[in-house]
Structure 1
């Protein structure tokens, strides 16, 4: 009889065909056997699921701001990947900005990899950045394994990552189309934002008016048309305006290669309930009205929105200006890397949406977006990245118990359904108090990581003026 490194047995294994009673055999970090429960697979280690537990594929979060090096006081690879593992996320893809240097050339990518390599408790990949003047660096970054390129169409909030205008974005898209890389876009129109009311003070409705839906809609329209003209792949980040969904759906029917994501805060929170001064809830684009939230859920269900990712965008507590509650000056970003699965599941189950659908939005679809063909599913040949999840268990969010470096949460005191009880990466349990064994991911391959945590910070740089999430 074959003996495996790990066997997981349970009545509720989330296979590609839904929940099934199965036994999973793992060898060499991969799933190599899936058999009916009771077949008696033998392993060096065995996990028997409790009756209230479901085995899920590890989630894939393709929108995480780790901020290291340079702004490690905001977050860092050790704290971010611990938080990810605690939330059942086994792969993250790090955004190219808020770290210093930003990931806009190969040298900066290498700096980031060196800092990350001994601190990763989960697998980590990297986006490249598209900024004015780095057109000639895009192919080199692609060849070095970044998963695509991020640009902004308005000020990013940090001066070292300037925005592109629509024509510059089109030129970069045309370049990316030559090697089939994807452009991911923070889509808000700078002109519309400039003409909107200036955000100031503690009233949330004033801040909301400063980031109107029209600004998002105009920018998404630009992304669609430039993708149409160049034939490039484009992805719209953190969609918050439901008005844009018909445009995206129509573009797809026309053959434009465009995808879209949204985030837990847009699906679980709404403007009418945000208290004045609650800068924990500030993000860009903003959390909009309850009616808008309902249409985002419809966009997920009809497939217009492809996936749900965190846009984990932390800062120091001081930059959130919790005492003054000034939405105009506070840093914009919601930290939810550890909470995403519980947040989305709590809202989905209330709507009668099954766990299998949530897993598709948060594991398989993000993996497909970045071409991670061995992630996001419990299937033969896939990485043994797994989460033991108790969907009926409940807890109340206590920011002090989060692994995020700064204990600030828009969800403090919120009661959530679903507890991650165990996370497995490549067939090995993740112990967030022990040694990290994550891998650095390149597009199309994996770079194995060995060593101990504690790589030094590359810089101690003062924070930039607050603006974007």
Structure 2
């Protein structure tokens, strides 16, 4: 005879989300996602009875893992008038991004020592609507600071091989690149590189139009710099990553280096996958970025590299500025594109037209960048993962209006562009963002791989 006290009480979860289009690591299917506290506890069938305090049936809305964006310029402290943690993270959440990692520039001071990191963490305190981590910076003369930054929890180190656009974050020459690779290899972390060879760059003072500007930053600037990074990684056995790959000609270089045993990865960005040089309107400096947009054939080649797994993932490189810095002159305007809130629909619009599915987009924009950063509880809908989720309407067509976005400034090249797909709701660690009065994003620290 079984005593009634021996019968386990049924588990009652905090929340169950049901969707006929749940994007799981093994593909898209109907499913029910049960959440206990901040984590995903169980993945069940769509119609399976599961006891919960609250259940939401999303029907044909897709349920995706929250996006992870490892390339965002928040610019606070020091240049908060450009963006800031409150505006950037709220815009990110509205676009389905649940985790970002902030770049070490263009804040003042840049994150090149532990004092600057502490200042950045203090500036972000209580302002982040999503979980937020930080990159450190590698610049000439700060080699002795990298170990302390690493121990303080940065996710790796960013460097430039060409001028960054801000004087306080100068580039590394070849010897400096070798030193940085040697240090990061010893620390067991990654060096992420803005790879352009300055020997190929021309004076931008004579580039008022987009065609003029494009000539100043040819594909060879990227391919030569990528080869330099590969050579440095080979010499030091460092792990390296190529940021915002624009020149498709570099894809095969990276692929060959991997076959030779080099620990190298690469990302590209929504603007390189959706926009093309021949369609940039005259004087439209919202389209200016470095490296620049290239032609449609190059864009198609980037898609091919992404589809074949030779480009690892897609992140925004959100690099905003005040409207006054985006004049009609490509020579003097700030080189950065604002897109943090709209990366998902921009990529989905193009991906669907090319025959890709939501599972591909989730791999490129959620799990890929999460795994790259060592955030193994992020970027996936799986038992034990953080309950970071986004309800996404994959069929909704709408027109982007810069003034409607939550970025600090309305400047974006997507203003007036028709896109398909829209984030409807975003959950961070089991709680829907926007239902609470205050932001509840956490500051993330690097953890051992």
Band of TM-score, shorter chain: over 0.9
Report the equivalent of 1:118: 126
Report the equivalent of 1:455: none
Question: Could you tell me how far 1:198 is from its partner in structure 2?
Answer: 3.6
Conservation of the 8 A alpha-carbon contact between 2:21 and 2:62: yes
Question: Could you tell me how far 1:50 is from its partner in structure 2?
Answer: 2.7
Q: Distance in 1 between matches of 2:187 and 2:207?
A: 46
Conservation of the 8 A alpha-carbon contact between 1:200 and 1:327: no
Alignment partner of 1:228 is 2:234: yes
Conservation of the 8 A alpha-carbon contact between 1:199 and 1:206: no
Deviates more, 1:197-206 or 1:365-374: 197-206
Which one of 54, 66, 76 corresponds to residue 45 of structure 1?
A: 54
Q: Deviations over 1:218-259 (max 9, x none)?
A: 110000110011000000000000111110000000000000
Equivalent residues in 2 for 1:144-159 (5 A)? 144-159=152-167
Report the equivalent of 2:356: 353
Report the equivalent of 1:452: none
Question: Could you tell me how far 1:411 is from its partner in structure 2?
Answer: 0.6
Q: Distance in 2 between matches of 1:229 and 1:175?
A: 12
Report the equivalent of 2:196: 188
Alignment partner of 1:94 is 2:102: yes
Q: Deviations over 1:263-295 (max 9, x none)?
A: 000000000011121100000000001111010
Shift >6 Å, 4+ stretches: none
Q: Distance in 2 between matches of 1:340 and 1:432?
A: 23
Report the equivalent of 1:458: none
Q: Secondary structure at the match of 1:261?
A: strand
Equivalent residues in 2 for 1:4-403 (5 A)? 4-51=13-60, 53-193=61-201, 196=202, 198-321=204-327, 325-403=328-406
Conservation of the 8 A alpha-carbon contact between 2:18 and 2:59: no
Question: Could you tell me how far 1:45 is from its partner in structure 2?
Answer: 2.2
Q: Distance in 2 between matches of 1:225 and 1:201?
A: 32
Q: Distance in 2 between matches of 1:305 and 1:109?
A: 30
Conservation of the 8 A alpha-carbon contact between 2:207 and 2:216: no
Question: Could you tell me how far 1:201 is from its partner in structure 2?
Answer: 5.0
Q: Secondary structure at the match of 2:14?
A: strand
Kindly report the root-mean-square deviation, in angstroms, between the aligned alpha carbons of the 2 structures: 1.1
Which one of 413, 420, 425 corresponds to residue 422 of structure 1?
A: 425
Question: Could you tell me how far 1:432 is from its partner in structure 2?
Answer: 7.9
Q: Distance in 1 between matches of 2:75 and 2:50?
A: 43
Q: Secondary structure at the match of 1:66?
A: coil
Query: Structure 2 vs 1, CA of residues 395 and 432 (structure 1 numbering), >3 Å: closer, same or farther?
Result: farther
Question: Could you tell me how far 1:23 is from its partner in structure 2?
Answer: 1.2
Which one of 418, 431, 436 corresponds to residue 434 of structure 2?
A: 431
Q: TM-score, normalised by structure 2?
A: 0.96
Q: Deviations over 1:353-405 (max 9, x none)?
A: 11100110000000011100100000010000000000001110011110000
The number of aligned residues is: 439
Gaps of 5+ in 2: 1-9
Q: Distance in 1 between matches of 2:108 and 2:437?
A: 28
Q: Distance in 2 between matches of 1:199 and 1:264?
A: 28
Conservation of the 8 A alpha-carbon contact between 2:337 and 2:412: yes
Q: Secondary structure at the match of 1:421?
A: strand
Question: Could you tell me how far 1:199 is from its partner in structure 2?
Answer: 4.7
Q: Distance in 1 between matches of 2:155 and 2:235?
A: 22
Q: TM-score, normalised by structure 1?
A: 0.92
Q: Distance in 2 between matches of 1:93 and 1:141?
A: 15
Question: Could you tell me how far 1:121 is from its partner in structure 2?
Answer: 0.2
Query: Structure 2 vs 1, CA of residues 231 and 158 (structure 1 numbering), >3 Å: closer, same or farther?
Result: same
Gaps of 5+ in 1: 446-469
Q: Distance in 2 between matches of 1:171 and 1:17?
A: 41
Question: Could you tell me how far 1:412 is from its partner in structure 2?
Answer: 0.7
Q: Secondary structure at the match of 1:151?
A: strand
Conservation of the 8 A alpha-carbon contact between 1:88 and 1:420: yes
